[in-house]
Amino acid sequence: MTMVNKVRDHLENGIIPFWKDLRDDVYGGYYGYLDYDLNLDKKAEKGCILNSRILWFFSNAYLLLKDKSLLDEAEHAYAYMTEKCFDRENGGVFWSTTYDGQVKDSTKHTYNQAFAVYALSSYYEASGDLKALERARELFGIIETKCKDEKGYLEASDKTFHKIGNDKLSENGVVADRTMNTLLHVLEAYTELYIACADPKVKAALWDILHIFSEKMYNRKLHRQEVFFDDDYRSLIDLHSYGHDIETSWLVERTVEAVDDDDHVWRDKILPITRDLAETILNTAFDGHSLPSECENGKVDEKRIWWVQAETVVGFLNAYNRSNNTDERYLEAAKSCLAYIFENIVDKRDGSEWFWAVNRDGTPIKGLPIVEPWKCPYHNGRMCIEILKRV
């Protein structure tokens, strides 16, 4: 079976059926937790990010495969998201709901608003529902007016958009006022929105983000992005996030393709950075088969995390495409990582999907859930979609 056929088969007969089976037809949305032993908790909280990502996934799977059952799943996700995750009083999207659709965590995180924009924009492209596009543009306005200051994008707020501590997107012993991760996914969401509506205001916002990315996030000396920052963009920790750098390398290039004008200002400024990120990952972090999670203070975290491997495949495939399909190093790296995924990350037990993470030797790390608010079909589903569109 060729690589393309294997990926298509995995998407159609693995990932898609798994997530269809998590549909909650009683309370709406999709069930929020499946543990390592494949026990489904139908009363677990439902993350609004999880449901946004599911909406994005089924919308894009439909756009690729034209299977009407996928649009039905997207409509189901859209209904839950708009009925239960949106704050009708204050605007914006909550962090999570209870299993039956009550507000559980009313935090308004910029990252979460961005994923809703991303999902709604894709759903509009799949369904033609103008209300979805209108909601995406409303959220864009909320982010620009309530989740941003003169320096850039903020992180966590309470339900009325007053700043609170950013514990949800802070790790490694620091609490960050600004993060590379939030900026990346605001960029990703706005790119999708701009493709859907060509609003000059969205384009201007993307230009601002590209400027912050190139001037604040990217560390020219170390050939990487910094991850966690104080309010003035001072890096808080010596951390190289391998997965985010390879993901950034192709997502930012997608943005440049969407917004660059005939003068190629952004292409000339940004593409050397994204190519440097991909080259650095290939030469300093990729082991020939898989990508470790990150390196903190010179110590590599050797876990192989599901989303990092998925983004590695797409990032290397993108780098190969950008070389006019001539730099075979990237193609071979993408193919090798894909083979590693099928051998080690895909959980071959009936009723499962991908392991959260495996050890360096490929053995599963037991106890980590198969589904929870962050574990979704976004990275691995997108990997399959990107391969099928590119190869």
Please give the structure tokens belonging to residue 316: 């290397």
Question: Looking at the whole model, is its pTM more than 0.95?
Answer: yes
CB-hemisphere CA count at 13 Å for 69? 7
- Give percent of the chain above pLDDT 70: 100
For the chain, what's the residue count?
391
Give 262's pLDDT tier (boundaries 50, 70, 90): confident
**DSSP label at 350?**
T
CATH of the domain at 349: 1.50.10.10
For residues 132-137, give the mean pLDDT: 98
111 has a pLDDT exceeding 70: yes
Contact 126, 60 (CB under 8 A): yes
pLDDT digit string, tens, across residues 308-361: 999 999 999 999 999 999 999 999 999 999 999 999 999 999 999 999 999 999
171 has a pLDDT exceeding 90: no
Q: How many whole angstroms separate alpha carbon 81 and alpha carbon 117?
A: 12
For residues 153-165, give the mean pLDDT: 97
For residues 96-112, give the mean pLDDT: 98
What is the predicted pLDDT for the residue at 64?
Answer: 98
Q: How many whole angstroms separate alpha carbon 283 and alpha carbon 306?
A: 21
The backbone torsions φ and ψ at residue 42, rounded to the nearest 5 degrees and listed phi first, read -75, -10
Collapsed DSSP state (helix, strand, coil) of residue 299: strand
Q: How many whole angstroms separate alpha carbon 390 and alpha carbon 385?
A: 9
Give 81's pLDDT tier (boundaries 50, 70, 90): very high
**DSSP label at 12?**
I
What is the predicted pLDDT for the residue at 261?
Answer: 83
Domain limits at 259? Answer: 3-390
68 has a pLDDT exceeding 70: yes
What is the predicted pLDDT for the residue at 163?
Answer: 96
Q: How many whole angstroms separate alpha carbon 59 and alpha carbon 119?
A: 8
Beta-bridged to residue 149, according to DSSP, are 152
Contact 272, 307 (CB under 8 A): no
Q: How many whole angstroms separate alpha carbon 191 and alpha carbon 211?
A: 15
| Residue 201 CA, distance from chain mean position | 23
What is the predicted pLDDT for the residue at 1?
Answer: 62
Nearest CA to 259 among 251, 247, 267, 269? 267
**How many domains does the chain divide into?**
1
Nearest CA to 116 among 103, 100, 132? 132
The backbone torsions φ and ψ at residue 149, rounded to the nearest 5 degrees and listed phi first, read -125, -170
pLDDT digit string, tens, across residues 198-253: 999 999 999 999 999 999 999 999 999 999 999 999 999 999 999 999 999 999 99
